[in-house]
Chains A and B, each alone.
Chain A
Amino acid sequence: MYGYQIIETVRLRTSGTYTLKEGALYPALHKLEATEFITSYWETQENGRERRYYSIQPAGHAFLAAKTKEWNQFVDMVQAFVGPRL
């Protein structure tokens, strides 16, 4: 995925509730790349324009799986405390 595509995907998945700014996205992407959780490459489009794509690495998948598990445990804990939705 490329930068604008990531912003749009987040916006659509959150039904417009959360909008990532470029100032938040690109430092995060570069940080993830420095830690080798993702990698990036430039690709030239048919119209001659260049775009930088990002793809997740195995280490990134492992980190994502670990954090998703932590998040789900947290949600279950809060749900157990708050009680079922009315």
Chain B
Amino acid sequence: MIRELEAHLRDEAEARGLESESGMATLLAEKEHPTLLAEELAVGEGQDVNHRSGTALAAGMIIGLATGGHMLVEGWRWYIALAFALAQGLAVGGGYFWVRRHWLRLNPWARMAVAVLITALLSIPLGFTTRHGFKPTRLLYGAFTGFLLEHHSQERPLWHSILEPIAFTALMFFLETGILGRIRFSWWKVPLELSFNATIMLSVMLAVRFKRLLAERRVLTPQEQG
């Protein structure tokens, strides 16, 4: 913050052609008292950090509750559903929102690649949410969540939201039954898997909208919220 204010003063001094010490003293005399300014900025910084961490956690919880809840309804053991909810929600969802600001300057393709990679890594705990040891394909659910979070950070046509869970379901079946041969394909498994991936989709969209709503409330002062 001090670095930024110093840069600002130098820019203003340069623009006004102030080069001497007396010129700079005149400039500083026009400004708010540094203590007052520092206090305002410090309060703002603290609130910004609280907002970022609070909204990341809340948005991640939406994703976690939705996916964990779906697993419970499917008939998974409660502790596996809970572990999945925590890993998917806190690690993947919350983690993504917490670190996203560090790659906002990248071009869209690089942002997507980083989002998918980061969320895949954050979802390593998901690989342990099985009864049969570590399952690496679980990381794809984390990567899919990261893809959706980044892709839907902007408004997208409705057909994207419809196609994405269908395409991911097809990919998972292709991997699990076709390539890895880990499970036997059955038609009754398709709607189950599709509904789970659609739940991820819907929870991501809800989390993004919720976070956007909180952001708008944070930016506007109470008088402006109407």
Chain A interface residues (CB < 8 Å from chain B): 2-5, 8, 21-23, 26-27, 30-37, 39, 41, 49-52, 55, 57-59, 62-63
Contacts and interface: CB of A to CB of B under 8 A. Distances in A.
Contacts of B155: 62
B178 interface: no
A34 B40 contact: no
B5 interface: yes
Contact of B11 (A3, A27, A39, A63): A3
| Interface residue SS majority, chain B | helix
Nearest to A24: B40
Interface in B45-70: 45, 47-49, 51-52
Contacts of A58: 153-154
B31 interface: yes
B12 A4 contact: yes
A33 B154 contact: no
B219 A23 contact: no
Given A30-B45, A31-B44, A37-B215, A49 B5 contact: no
A49 to B, nearest CB: 6
Interface in B129-166: 153-155
A22 B32 contact: yes
Nearest to B3: A50
Identify the 4 closest CB pairs spanning chains A and B, nearest first: A35-B215, A34-B48, A27-B44, A4-B11
Interface stretch (B72-80, B86-94, B99-107, B113-121): B99-107
Given A8-B15, A22-B8, A49-B7, A36 B48 contact: no
Given A50-B7, A51-B7, A22 B37 contact: yes
B51 A34 contact: yes
Contacts, number: 86
A31 to B, nearest CB: 6
Contacts of A31: 44, 47-48, 218-219
A51 B11 contact: yes
A62 B11 contact: no
B36 interface: yes
A68 to B, nearest CB: 14
Contact of A27 (B7, B41, B49, B212): B41
A2 B11 contact: yes
Contacts of B44: 27, 30-31
A30 B51 CA distance: 12
Interface in B165-189: none
B154 A36 contact: no
A27 B40 contact: yes
A50 B49 CA distance: 24
Contact of B101 (A5, A8, A36): A36
A60 B10 CA distance: 28
